[in-house]
Amino acid sequence: MLLFDATHRSLKPVVAELQQAGRKGRSQALYQQCIAAMERARALDDDAAFVLIAQTFGLVIDQDGYSAASIAWLSEAVERAQRCGEFGEQSHMLHLIGRAYYSRAEYGVALGYWTQGMEVARRDGDRISWSWCKLGMGQICDALGAPDLAVKVFAGLGQTLATLTSSAQRLPISQWARFDMRLRELRVVNTVNLGVNELALADFSNALAHLREGMAMARAEQMDDIASECLVRFAEVSALQGKPQQAMDQLQAAQQALQDCAHHWGLATLFLLRAKCESALAQNPQAQASIELARAAAQRANAQHIALRIELEDARIAELDGNLARALAALKRAAVLQAELDKGSKAHMLRHLQELADLTGTATPETPAFQFGGRWKPEH
C-alpha cells in the first residue's frame, strides 16, 4: 500500500486535496485538475504521487465518458505501481480500469481486468483491492440480468468485509487509517449494490433496509454521489409498488443532489425512471421530454446499458402515444445497442462469475483466469 510520505514534497498538498474532492463527488474541473497533477508527477518522475492521483482520476473519468485517453492514464499508473513494487496499488488500478470498461458495458474486458486484479491482490495480501474487484463481479452479474447471483456475491462479500480490521492486517500502524477509510467506502458501495439487486428481485423489505443503511454510511463518509443515488432507488421502490406520483416527488430532491455532484450516470437513471412515472400518469409529452434528458445524460456518461433501456422505454411510450414512426426509430437504435452489448458469450461470463462468487480471498488457490476477445491482455 503506497505511503503518502513517498510523494514529492510539492505534490503532497495536491494529492490530499484531490483525494478529498474525489470522495465527495465528480466535476469536469476535478477531472482536469487530476490530469494537470498527473502531468506534474510525471515531470518529477514521482511514481507514488502519480498512482495516488490516478486513483482519484479513476473515480471521475465519467466526465469524459470513460474515453480511451482517460483509460490510458490509468494504464500508465498500473505500470508505475508495478515499477515501484506496489502490487496492491497495481491491483487497485486494475480495478479502476475494469470499472471504466464496465461502465462502457464492455463486460468481458472488465471481467478480464478484475480477474487479474483479484489475483495480483491475492498474491500481495491486499484484501481491500481484492474486494473491490470482487464487487465488480457482482455488478456484472447485475448488468447481465442475474440479480440472484449478484445478491449472492454482494451478501457474501459483505460478510467478508464485516470481519476485516486494520489491526488484523500485516500493515504498519501508519497505514491503518487509509485501510480503514478504504474499507468504509467499500462497505458503502457493497451495501448499496446489495440493496439495488434485492430491489430487482422485488425483495422490497431487505432492499429498503440496505439502501437506508448504505445512504447513512455514504453521508457519514461524505460520499455525496452514492447518497444521491440512493434517493433515486427509494423512488424506484415507490414506482414498483404502483405509486408513480410519490416516486416523482422523491425524484425532485434526488435530481438536484445528482446535478450538484455531476453524476451523469445517476441522472440518466433518474430521468429514465421519471419518464416511466410520467407515462404511468398519462403525461406522455413530459415523459418524452424526460427521455431526451435521459438520453443526453447517458451519452455524456457513455453508459451503453442505460442507453439501451432508454431506447426501449422511448419505444414503449411512443407506441402508447400512437407515434409508430418514433417507436420504430427507437427500436432500431435499441437493436444496434443490443448487438453491441451481446458481443461474446454471456453464458461463458456467467459461468466464470459463478466460479468467482464463492471465493472469499482467504484461500490460497489462484483466481480462475478469464480471457475475453482481443481487447484485454494481462499487464506484465
Q: In the prediction, which pLDDT does 328 show?
A: 97
Q: Which amino acid is residue 110, in one-letter code?
A: A
Nearest-angstrom CA–CA distance, 54 and 74: 6
Q: Give 226-254 pLDDT, tens digit per residue.
A: 999 999 999 999 999 999 999 999 999 89
Q: Which residues, 6 or more positions from 272, have their beta carbon under 8 angstroms from its beta carbon? A: 290, 291, 294, 306, 309, 310, 313
* 169 vs 71, higher pLDDT: 71
Residue 248 pLDDT: 97
Average pLDDT over residues 19-26: 80
Query: pTM value?
Result: 0.85
pLDDT digits (tens, 9 = 90+) for 102-149: 988 888 899 999 999 999 998 888 889 999 999 999 999 998 889 999
pLDDT level of residue 329 (50, 70, 90 thresholds): very high
The stretch 145-158 carries a mean pLDDT of: 94
Q: What is the mean pLDDT of residues 165-183?
A: 76
Question: How confident is the prediction for the chain on average, in pLDDT?
Answer: 88
Report the C-alpha dihedral over residues 4, 6, 7, 10, rounded to 10 degrees: 100
| pLDDT score of 377 | 42
For 223-343, CATH gives: 1.25.40.10
Q: How many CB atoms lie within 10 A of CB 213?
A: 17
| Phi, psi (rounded to 5 degrees) for 66 | 50, 50
CA distances from 147 to 41, 93, 204, 242 (A): 42, 26, 14, 21
